[in-house]
Structure 1
Amino acid sequence: MSCDVEINPLVLTSRLLTVELAGTGARDRLDVPLRWRLVSSGAIAQDGVVERPVLTLEGLVPGIDYTLAVEGFNDLEFVTPPESAFIDIRDHGALETAADNAEALAAAIATAPEGATLYVPPGVWRTGPVFLRSGLFVHLPEGAVLMAVSDRGAYGVLEAFGEDGRQQASWEGVPAKCYASVLTAIDADSVTIAGKGVIDGGGAEGDWWEWPKETRDGARRPRTIFANRCTQLKISGLTIRNSPSWTIHPLDCAGAVFADLVVDNPPDSPNTDGLNPESSTDIEIVGVRFSVGDDCIAIKAGKIWPDGTVPAPTRNVSVRHCLMERGHGGVVIGSEMSGSVTDVSVAFCTMVATDRGLRIKTRRGRGGQVARIVLSDCVMDGVGTALAVNSHYFCDPDGTSDAVQNRAPAPVDATTPKIADIVLMRTEARNVHHALAYVLGLAEAPISGLTIKDMTVTYAPDAVADVPDMALGLPALRHAGIITENVIAPIIMGIIQPTDTIKERA
C-alpha cells in the first residue's frame, strides 16, 4: 500500500463510527480484504474483515477511548462523544403493530436535548413523515427497519415557502409544494442518521410511482430523506430503498457527509435518483452503492425562479469509492444548474451499465456555469457514453423549441449557461456502447478547458447504435470515440482504443 494511506473518520457519534480507508487506490472494493480490530481498555471490543474502503462500526459506548487498527494503516485513536440522553422510541408509545408510529416518534424527538440518541430498535416500525431537530443522532442498528406508510393521507404538505418567506420545499429546482419526506430536517444543525438498519420509503406500496411528473391534492411526491438549510448533516451505514421520488435530497445545506450507504430503488421506478445535493456546499459522498431508477448522483443548483431569483451555488463536492449500477447516469450535473455547480471531484469509483458515466446537461435559459469538474481513476463497464456534455438538453415544456435546439449562435445574456474546465482522466472505459465522449456546446458559448487523457477504452460487441444524449438532431452512435461540437481547443491525449475515432463535428 501507499505510504499515504490513512484511516479517515467520516462520522463519529456516541455509539457509531464510520471511516474511510483512504489512499489505497481501491475503487468500490479493496484489492485484498483487510483484518481490523477495535480495542478499548486493552481488550478487543470487536474485530473482523473489511472488503470495502469504508467501514461502519456500531455498538460503541459513549465517552469511551477506543483504538481502531486496520492492516497496513496507522492506528486511529478516538473517544466517542458523550450522550445527553438515550431515547428508545418504545418508551414513547412506538409499537411494531401500529399502523403509523409518527406521533410516537414525534413525542420521542420532542423530549430530546441536544446530543441525544433517538434509538429505533430492531423490528419493523411503520411511520408517516418525521421531523428531526438539531443535535440529534437517529440510530437504526442492524435489524431495524423504518417503513414509510403507504397512505398519502398520512403525509403533511410542505409549503413552497415558510412563514418567514424562505423557500421550504422545491421540485426540479424551483419552490413548490411537496409532501413531507419520511425523514425531514429543516434549519437543523448537526443531525446524524446512521446505523446498519434500513429506511424504506414505501414507493412501491403507495401510488407514488403512478404520477411521476404530476401533482396530487396540490403537492409533488416526497423524497425519502429531505434536508433544507441544514449544516453538518451526516448519514452513514444504512440501506435506503424503495423511494417515492428522489431518495436523499439536501437543499441549501453545508458540510454534509454521506458514507457507506446502500441506495436501492427498482430500475423501473420513475425519477428515483439516489442522491441529489442542490445549492449545497462542502459535500462528501464516500463508499455509497447505488442501484436506482434514474441518476445515481445528480448534482444540482436549481433553476431561475419565476420571480427572477437565482438559486445558491453548489460547490466543493467530493465523490469517492462509490459503486453506481444501472441508472441513467453515474454522476450527473444539471440540468438544474442556474446557481452554478463548481469544483466537483469524482475519484476511485465504479460505474456499471449506467446510460452515461459523467454527464453534464443544461440549455439556453438556465444561466449559471458548470466548471472545474474532474473525474479520475475510475472504471466504467457497459456504459452507453462515458462522458456526455449536452448544452441543448430538451427539458421543460419548451425544451424542443427552436430557441433551445437551434444550433446557430443566439444572443448572449445572463441566461446563457457556461461550461468550462471539464477533465476526464486515468479511467478505464470497458464495453462502451455508443461513444467514449460526446460533447456539445452552445455556438454562442463554446465549452473551454475540456481535457480527456490517459484513458483505456474497449467497446461492447453487442452494442446497438443510439443517440448519446437528449437533444434534437443527435446522431445514433455505435463504438464512437470522442466527438466534440462547439468546444474550444480540447486537450485529448493518451487514449488507448481500437481505432482513431476522435473528431470535431462539422
Structure 2
Amino acid sequence: MKFEIITVTSRSVTIELANNQCVYAVKDFEVYVNNQVAKVTRNNVVTIYDLEPNKEYEVYVKALDDTTTSNIKVFRTNQEYVTLNVKDFGAVGNGEVYDTAAIQAAILSCPANGRVVIPEGKYLSTPIFLKSNMTLEIQKGATLLGSTVREHYPILPGLTETNDGTDEFYLGSWEGDPMDCFASLLTGINVENVIITGEGTIDGNASFENWWEDAKVKRIAWRPRLLFLRDCKNVLVEGVTVQNSPSWTVHPLFCQDIKFINLNVINPKDSPNTDGINPESCKNVLILGVDFSVGDDCIAIKSGKIYLGRKLKTPSENIIIRNSHMKFGHGAIVIGSEMAGGIKNIVASQCIFEETDRGIRVKTRRGRGKDGIINGLFAENILMKKVLTPFVINAFYFCDPDGKTEYVWSKEKLPVDDGTPTIRNIYYKDIKCEDSEVAAGFFYGLPERKIENIHLENIEITFAEDAKEDFPAMMSFLDKQVKAGFFIGNATNVTIKNVSIDDVIGEAFTYVEVDQLNN
C-alpha cells in the first residue's frame, strides 16, 4: 500500500491512499501514528486528529489481513502559539442561550497562529465572522447551531458605491448576482491562512418551518449559506460535518487556494437550493474525500450570472475533485448555469455518484456572454449508481424569468453576439454507469456555437430493469425518455471510443449536426 500526506495542521494530518479505487479501498486498513493504531477504515482519504503541535510524527498504513506495511513517512505538525477555549470567554454550550458574543470574542482575541476551540456541547449562535491567521477547531461532540430568527442575522449588502465613485464594493450574493443576503453562520471576508477543522458539526438548523419555507421569496434579505467565504486565500476546511443549511451549504466566492477535505455535507433530499459546495469565480480549489447527501447539486461550479461575470470576468479555474461520494441531489458535478465569467480546467477522478438525477452536468444558455467559456472538463475513473442521466451538456437551460423565451429555446442558428457562451474540450474516460434510467447522455450545443472537442472513451452504461421515464435535461420542448442512448447535437470533433450501452431502447447514438465524428 502507498499513500501521500495531503495536509498537516498543528493538531491533525490527512493522508490519501495511492490506488485506483473510487473513494474506498478494497479492504479495511490500519493507520499507524508513531507505531500506534490511530484509525481503522476503508476510506481512501483519512484524517487523524488530537496530535500535538510542533512535533515530529511517523505514519504508515497496513491492510488488516496483510503483514506487509507501507513505507514510513515523517511529518512535523505546525506550530501553535496559544489555544483559546470559547468557554473561557463565557460560552455555555447548552443550546438554549446564545453563545455568539463569547465565540466571536475568542476569535477576535486570537493572535496569529493561535487556535480557538469549541469543545463538546451545543452552541446556539447567530453569524460568526472569521479572521486571518488562525485555526477554528470544532471538536468531537460539539455543534455550532444556527439561530432561526432572521432579524438576528446581519445583512451583507449586494452593492455599495465607493466614495471615489470609481467602482462598487460587493458583499452579498444570491445565485450569481450581487444582492442583499444574510451573513452565514460562519462568514469569512478578506481573510487568509485560516483553518476550520475538527470532528464536530456546523448545523444551520434550517427546516421547512423556518429558512426553507417559501424558499423563492426574499424576506428582508436572501437566505444565508452555512459557510460563506468572500475574497479569501489559503483556507482549509477539514473534517467537520456541515448540515441543514438555509441555502447553498459551502460557498466560496472570489477565493483562491482553498481546500475542502473529508467533510460530511448533509441536507434533506427535498430541501431547496441546498447545494453542497459551490465554488464561484475561484482559483485553485481541492475537494477531496467529501461525502455529500444534499437536496440540490452536490458540487456546482459557477462564475456569476451576467452582471458580475461580465463586469469582473473572473473564471472558476483549476478545480480538482477526487475520492468524493455524491449521493442524491440534482447533479453530482455541475458546471453552471451561472458561468458568465468562464470556467476552465476542472478535473474529477475516483468518485462515486449515487442516485443523483444527473452525473456530470453542464448547463448554460444564450445570454451568459462571450466570457462564459467552459474550457476543459476532465473526468475519469468514476462509478455511477442509479444516476438517471449520467452525462448532460445543455446549452438551452431554461432558467431565469426569460428562460422559456424563443431567444433561449430556438434551435435556429442565431447571430453570435456578446451573449453567446462557449463549450469546448470535454474528456470523459473509464466511467461505469450502473442502473441508469432516462438516457445514457444528452449533449446539445448551440447551432451558432457548437460544442468543440468531445472525447468519450471506455464508458459502460447499463439501465435498470424498472427504469422510469423522465426528461434528460431541463430545456423547452423536450420529450420524456426512458433507456435512451446518447444524443449529441450541434458539436464538432467528437470521438467515441469503446462506449457500450446495454438494453437501450432505440438507437445507441443519435447525431444531429455533428462535424468530424470519430468512432
Which range, TM-score by smaller chain?
over 0.9
Q: Deviations over 1:467-488 (max 9, x none)?
A: 1011012232111121111011
Find out whether 1:81 has 2:88 as its counterpart: no
Structure 2 residue aligned with 1:249: 251
Partner residue of 2:9? 13
Residue 87 (structure 2) aligns with: 90
2:300–2:333 CA contact under 8 A, matched in 1: yes
Match of 1:497 among 498, 501, 509: 501
Amino acid at match of 1:406: S
Equivalence map 1:58-457=2 (5 Å): 58-71=49-62, 72-97=69-94, 98-161=96-159, 165-204=168-207, 207-217=210-220, 219-305=221-307, 309-367=311-369, 368-457=372-461
SS at match of 1:124: strand
* Identity in percent: 36
RMSD over equivalenced CA pairs, Å: 1.6
Cα distance in 1, alignment partners of residues 36 and 457 from structure 2? 47
User: Aligned-pair distance for 1:81?
Assistant: 1.1
1:229–1:252: 8 Å Cα contact kept in structure 2? yes
Give yes or no for contact 2:38–2:48 (8 Å, CA) kept in 1. no
> Structure 2: which 5+ runs fail to align?
63-68, 163-167, 514-519
Q: Distance between the aligned counterparts of 1:61 and 1:321, measured in 2?
A: 28
Aligned counterparts of 2:187 and 2:160: Cα–Cα separation in 1: 14
- TM-score of the aligned structures, taking structure 1 as reference length: 0.95
Between 272-281 and 52-61, the greater mean CA deviation after superposition: 52-61
TM-score w.r.t. the length of structure 2 is 0.93
Q: Give the distance between the partners of 1:242 and 1:333, measured in 2 at CA.
A: 23
Amino acid at match of 2:83: F
Report the residue type matching 2:23 in the other structure. D
Q: Using the alignment, how far apart are the partners of 1:302 and 1:278 within structure 2?
A: 7
Conservation of the 8 A alpha-carbon contact between 1:58 and 1:141 = no
Give the CA deviation at 1:61: 0.8
Deviation at 1:206, TM superposition (A): 5.7
Amino acid at match of 2:10: S
Tell me how far apart the structure 2 counterparts of residues 306 and 116 of structure 1 sit (CA, whole Å): 36
Match of 2:470 among 461, 466, 473: 466
Q: Which structure 1 segments of 5+ residues have no match? A: none
Q: Distance in 1 between matches of 2:49 and 2:307?
A: 43
2:419, 2:5 → 1: CA distance? 41
Q: Deviations over 1:451-470 (max 9, x none)?
A: 11111111011112221011
Contact 2:388 2:437 (C-alpha < 8 Å) held by counterparts: yes
For the 8 Å contact 1:304–1:311, the answer to whether it is kept is no
SS at match of 2:88: helix
Residue from 40, 53, 57 that aligns with 2:44: 53
Give how far 1:505 is off.
3.6
| Aligned residues of 2:309 and 2:340 also touching (Cα < 8 A) | no
C-alpha separation between the residues in 2 aligned to 1:152 and 1:216?
Answer: 9
User: Which residue identity is paired with 2:115?
Assistant: T
Give the distance between the partners of 2:284 and 2:211, measured in 1 at CA.
31
Q: Measure the CA separation in 2 of the matches of 1:130 and 1:413.
A: 44
1:68 Cα shift? 1.2
1:390 CA drift (Å): 0.3
Indicate the SS of the match to 2:424. Answer: strand
Aligned counterparts of 1:65 and 1:309: Cα–Cα separation in 2: 48
Q: Separation in 1 of the partners of 2:343 and 2:77?
A: 35
Q: CA 1:253 to 1:277, structure 2 compared with 1: closer, same or farther past 3 Å?
A: same
Residue type of the partner of 2:464? A
What amino acid maps onto 2:411 in structure 1? R
8 Å contact from structure 1 (residues 224, 248) kept in 2: yes
Between stretches 57-66 and 330-339, larger displacement belongs to: 57-66
Q: Is the 8 A contact 1:346 1:375 kept in 2?
A: yes
Partner Cα separation in structure 1 for residue 309 and residue 45 of structure 2: 44
Which deviates more, 423-432 or 47-56? 47-56
Name which of 460, 477, 480 aligns with 1:476.
480
Provide the secondary structure at the position in 1 that maps to 2:273.
coil
Cα pair 1:303 1:310 within 8 Å, conserved: no
2:33 to 30, 38, 48: 38
Distance of aligned partners of 1:307 and 1:504 in 2 relative to their CA distance in 1, 3 Å threshold: closer
Q: In structure 2, what is the equivalent of residue 486 of structure 1?
A: 490
Q: Deviations over 1:363-414 (max 9, x none)?
A: 0000211111011101001111111000000011000000111110111012
Q: Distance in 2 between matches of 1:177 and 1:189?
A: 24
Shift of 1:153: 1.6
The separation in 2 between residues aligned to 1:173 and 1:395, in whole angstroms, is 12
Contact 1:424 1:452 in 2 (8 A): yes
Distance apart, 1:303 and its partner CA: 1.7
Q: CA deviation at 1:51?
A: 1.0
- How far apart are 1:496 and its partner, in Å? 2.2
* Aligned residue pair count: 496
* CA deviations over 1:332-371 (Å, ceiling 9, x no partner): 0000001100000110100011000000000000021111
8 Å Cα contact 2:318/2:346 also seen in 1:
yes
What's the counterpart of residue 65 of structure 2? none
Deviations 1:28-78, CA, capped at 9 Å, x for gaps = 211111111111xxxx45523121011111111111111111125332211
Instruction: Compute the displacement of 1:225 (Å).
Output: 0.2
Letter in 2 for 1:199: I
CA distance in 2 between partners of 1:191 and 1:169 (Å): 21
Kept in 2, the 8 Å contact 1:151–1:206? The answer is: no
